[in-house]
Amino acid sequence: MTPRAQGVLLMLGASACFSSGGLLVRLAGSTPPAAMVFWRSAIVFLFLLALLSAWHGRRLPARVREGGAAGLVSAAFLGATFALFIFAVTRTPVANASALMSTGPLMLTVSAWALLGERAPPATWAAIVVALCGVGVMFADGFGSGGEALGNLLALCIPVSFTASYLILRRARSKPDPAVTGMMASLFAALAVVPFAWPVEWPARDLPILLAMGLVQTGTGLLLLMLAVHRLRAAELGMVGLLEMVLAPVWVWALLGERPTDAALAGGVVVVSAVFVNQLALVLRREPATGPG
């Protein structure tokens, strides 16, 4: 199996994990948003700490130091996405957040082209445009106003923060370990919200849901994403990641009865079709999976 094929499979798994986030946030409604961020991030940190300790052993502290300042800054931006997601979804519908987060592939591709020198093939640029149009159709009537404005703004900041984290990680001379970066990101997110969640109470009622958020939705999803980062170009990474935005409202629909509109269903077909055609074209072209940097 080629590195690109491995990256696609890893990213598909990551997208499936991440897509359950909106549903799990809805199910953990009795836990305040800041406390939800704290517990999910703390669980992710412990999960990755255990995994990386088993992998690196006593060399783990050295692996953290090897990342240097770039690794810590990248982790800070990634950690911001952990908090922003929960704060956004608790203030705006999942469809709204998904629509705004779907701008990530465009941000990634344009930024990687401008700053990393990665050249996406014309088919990928076209596929991104088509996919974003499909997402726009899905959620054209989902954007709120008034009280939802803050949630929409927070959701828009998620792809901005992720793009910054990705670019810093790719340009770093120290070549930080992506999994270590994810571990530090979860630690930063947990510590950052402590003042807002204090006193942090034990979430007995929502603990199973928070464990699923930490271990599966974020922990496993993040691990798969980090393994895919150096196997795919930014455009490919973003295109496959669009599936998360399609699946997120589907889970809410299937389990909570929030049925998407006909426009949303039609847009989903457009997005999935664009992803499929783009990946098929990339496989046939057999281009390198990673670019400069």
Distance CA 137, CA 266 (A): 7
Query: Does a structural domain hold residue 158?
Result: yes
Residue 79 lies in a domain: yes
For residue 292, the model assigns a pLDDT of 33
Task: Give residue-wise pLDDT tens across range 12-35.
Answer: 899 899 999 999 999 998 899 999
Q: Indicate whether 290 belongs to any domain.
A: no
Reported as a pLDDT band with limits 50, 70 and 90, residue 142 is low
User: 236 lies in a domain?
Assistant: yes
Q: What is the pLDDT of residues 55-78, one digit of tens each?
A: 888 899 988 888 888 889 999 999
Total tally of structural domains belonging to the chain? 1
291 inside domain: no
Question: Most confidently modeled of 45-54, 163-172, 251-260?
Answer: 45-54
Structure tokens at 112: 């990687």
In a domain, 191, yes or no: yes
The least confident of 14-28, 102-116, 180-194 is 102-116
Rounded to two decimals, the pTM is 0.81
pLDDT in tens, 230-283: 787 766 776 677 778 788 888 988 888 877 667 666 776 777 677 777 766 765
Domain boundaries, position 213: 3-285
Residue 292, in any domain of the structure? no
